[in-house]
Amino acid sequence: MYERLMDSPVGPLTLRAEGGKLTAILFGDHRTGLLGEDPVLDQTEAELREYFAGDRKVFTVPVHLSGTDFQMKVWAALQEIPYGETATYGEIAVRIGNPKACRAVGTANHNNPISIVIPCHRVIGASGSLTGYGGGLPAKAYLLEWEKKN
């Protein structure tokens, strides 16, 4: 595993890659001291910079997700939420064929290891309110507003 710290408008991001695939984008400095280079870190940083410049709406960096079948369904559904739009936890639950699983969707959303690229920030409460986000609600608000403006 290789990692790198990147500055962004929502604070520092720890990028992790293994085997030529992105495995994590974490808010804050979570480096473990693993050194080395992986070209996917370069691609991830470049694509995030383009995103924050308003020049990228779709990420192409290869990712590796590891989770339960349920989590994988939720994370796949997150990737279907268009740039600049939102969905509720309930809507995601319906999309994955388990309409009563709103809370479980929230837990899977919380456990998404690849923030921004797997856009968990696009999931909001049923009332339209911003709910918990690993990067903090100000980061979630920033990302949603950024996407609406660009």
Residue 126 sits in a domain whose CATH number is: 1.10.10.10
| Residues 142 and 73 grouped into a single domain | yes
* pLDDT mean by block of 10 residues, the chain; 150 residues: 95 95 96 83 98 97 97 98 97 97 95 97 93 88 95
In the numeric block, the tokens 């992790």 are attached to 16
* Catalytic residue list contains 120: yes
Residue 88: the pLDDT is: 97
Given 10, 120, 123, 139, which residue is catalytic? 120
Same domain, 46 and 78: no
Query: What pLDDT, on the 0 to 100 scale, is given for residue 134?
Result: 83
Q: State which amino acid sits at residue 6.
A: M
Look at residues 44, 45, 39 and name the one whose alpha carbon lies nearest to residue 20: 39
Reference 61, options 12, 104, 18, 22; nearest CA is 22
Number of domains in the chain: 2
Examine residue 59 and state whether it is found in any structural domain, yes or no. no
The 8-class DSSP code of residue 27 comes to E
The whole domain housing 7 covers 2-52
**Looking at residue 131, what is its pLDDT?**
86
Residues 6+ apart with CB under 8 A from 83: 57, 58, 119, 147
Model pLDDT, residue 33: 81
